[in-house]
């Protein structure tokens, strides 16, 4: 991504000092490079933030899975909880 300059290189430094064209071009290239590096630094920072957010979500998901497993261990399984009701239904069906 190259940024086009509207002001000619020689006009940018006009009135400040007399600088040869090749030096003025080098300075302009250095300024462009600095702007690109700042843009990359921003992209890297954003990527790190996204990565950290992803790690937080992964940790939360893992915690939720652990809580579900704990609840499974604590609760009574469905068949044993309603077993007496099932036996009553079987007996009732036998009479009809």
Q: What is the mean pLDDT of each run of 10 residues along the chain (96 residues)?
A: 54 63 88 90 90 88 86 68 72 68
Domain count, the chain: 1
- Kindly state whether residue 71 falls inside one of the protein's structural domains: yes
pLDDT of residue 34: 92
Q: How far is CA 21 from the centre of its chain?
A: 45
CB neighbours of residue 20 within 10 Å: 9
- Kindly state whether residue 3 falls inside one of the protein's structural domains: no
* 24 close to 11: Cβ distance less than 8 angstroms: no
pLDDT of residue 24: 85
5 closest CA partner among 22, 27, 23: 27
Q: Which domain holds residue 86?
A: 9-95
SS (H, E, C) the chain: CCCCCCCCHHHHCCCCCCCCHHHHHHHHHHHHHHHHHHHHHHHHHHHHHHHHHHHHHHHHHHHHHHHHHHHHHHCCCHHHHCHHHHHHHHHHHHHC
pLDDT of residue 67: 86
- Kindly state whether residue 42 falls inside one of the protein's structural domains: yes
């Amino acid at each position: 991504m190259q940024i086009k300059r509207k002001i000619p290189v020689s006009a940018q430094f006009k009135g400040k000092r007399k600088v040869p064209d090749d030096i003025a071009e080098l300075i302009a290239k250095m300024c462009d490079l600095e702007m690109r590096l700042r843009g990359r630094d921003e992209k890297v920072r954003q990527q790190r933030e996204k990565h950290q957010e992803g790690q937080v979500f992964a940790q939360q998901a893992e915690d939720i899975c652990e809580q579900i497993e704990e609840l499974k261990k604590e609760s009574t399984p469905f068949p044993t909880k309603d077993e007496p009701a099932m036996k009553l239904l079987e007996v009732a069906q036998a009479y009809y």
